[in-house]
Amino acid sequence: MRKVNLRSVDLNLLVVLEALLSEKQVTRAAEKLHMSQPAVSRALQRLRSVFSDPLLVRSAEGYDLTTRATEMMGDLKTILQSVEQIIAEPEFLPFTSKQHVKIAGPDLETALYVPDLMAMMRHEAPDMQIDLDSRPADYFEMLSKGEIHFAISGVPPDGGEDQLHRVLLDTTERAIIMGAQHPFANKRLSLDDYLKCRHGYVSITGKGLPMADIRLKAMGKKRNTSLRLTSFMTVADFCEKTDLIFMLPVNLIERLAVGRAVVWQSPPEALQAEPLQFYLYWHARDHHDPMHRWVRSAILRGAGRNSS
């Protein structure tokens, strides 16, 4: 078998060849392909050169296929169907899918948005599974490495944003949460009061300063931090049992405060900042994947946002 350099072959000719072999006539092949008859005739001449075979020969009833043409008909249909499958967009059927969706983010942030996704999947994609990772980690690095499909975060990435897509899930203010028995529980905190308190804060990765410390540093002031947590889930316990106060997003506080002896209030005016925004992040490699698009849409529906 002679070796063929595919770069020298116009693969569009295979589509014309399939029509010629099935119709056994240039005119009908041209009609099938919505091409002019001269164009198909020229293509036939090129095909004869490529295959070193006439392919179609005149007969008493019109045209017949050569032996070579007859032998390649079955393979040709299979090849063209395979090419169509490669080029066609993959189909995603949620109801029959058994794929795993990998999501990472801080425990309380994922608790705000993932349960709604799970509820939708129960009805629309019952055999799909969510793998939820809330361990303290660099979630953006996990996205970069392809370890997860999505990250949910209120903190922007340190770099690599050109590789990421994001969509807004929620916007919320910050507030100070403390135990109901705290000395300042029934008093509006001034900046001086705030600085007299003992503070806890949540930092997932331990990198960078919390917003409050950045603002205080710019003012030449410093607060007394006594506790750093890597999870939000125990904040209410420390507020109830100690005199620690935390500054957290209001939507997280509302979840933490249910059934707990805690109160919250707005920060001192000097520490008030732009609302915090929570985003759903994903890597560019997954942007056009049908399963990924469906999950994005479901998460956004659950968050009351239009799909993107």
Read out DSSP for 30-42? HHHHT--HHHHHH
| Average pLDDT over the chain, rounded to an integer | 89
Instruction: Tell me the CATH number at 121.
Output: 3.40.190.10
Cα 113–115–121 angle (5° rounding)? Answer: 110
Torsion sign over Cα 174, 179, 180, 184: negative
Model confidence at 174: pLDDT above 90: yes
Q: What is the pLDDT of residue 111?
A: 85
Are 252 and 267 within one domain?
yes
Are 156 and 184 within one domain?
no
Are 37 and 71 within one domain?
yes
24 in a structural domain: yes
How do residues 229-263 score in pLDDT, each as one tens digit? Answer: 988 889 999 999 999 999 999 989 998 999 999 99
Query: Pick from 33, 56, 87: which residue ends a domain?
Result: 87
Percent of the chain with pLDDT over 90: 56
307 in a structural domain: no
Cα 248–254–256 angle (5° rounding)? Answer: 75
Are 218 and 186 within one domain?
yes
Q: Total structural domains in the chain? A: 3
Strand ranges in the chain using DSSP code E only, listed in sequence order: 56-59, 62-65, 100-104, 129-133, 150-153, 164-172, 174-179, 198-202, 224-229, 244-249, 262-265, 276-283
Regarding beta strands 224-229 and 62-65, do their DSSP bridges make them parallel or antiparallel, or are they unpaired?
A: unpaired
Are 225 and 98 within one domain?
no
Are 270 and 180 within one domain?
yes
**Which of 42-51, 87-96, 219-228 tops mean pLDDT?**
219-228
Model pTM above 0.75: no
Query: Pick from 87, 102, 124: which residue ends a domain?
Result: 87
Are 132 and 179 within one domain?
no
| CB half-sphere exposure, 244, CA atoms < 13 A | 21
10 in a structural domain: yes
C-alpha–C-alpha distance, residues 41 and 178, integer Å: 84
308 in a structural domain: no
Q: What is the pLDDT of residue 1?
A: 53
Are 155 and 201 within one domain?
no
Count of C-beta atoms within a 10 Å radius of residue 112: 22
Query: Pick from 63, 87, 111: which residue ends a domain?
Result: 87
Q: What is the pLDDT of residue 308?
A: 47
Query: Residue 61 — very low, low, confident or very high, per pLDDT cuts 50/70/90?
Result: confident
Are 200 and 266 within one domain?
yes
How do residues 17-30 score in pLDDT, each as one tens digit? Answer: 999 988 888 999 99
Are 83 and 147 within one domain?
no
114 in a structural domain: yes
Residue 159: which domain range?
Answer: 94-171+277-302
Are 167 and 178 within one domain?
no
C-alpha–C-alpha distance, residues 177 and 197, integer Å: 12
Segment among 106-115, 252-261, 279-288 with least mean pLDDT: 106-115
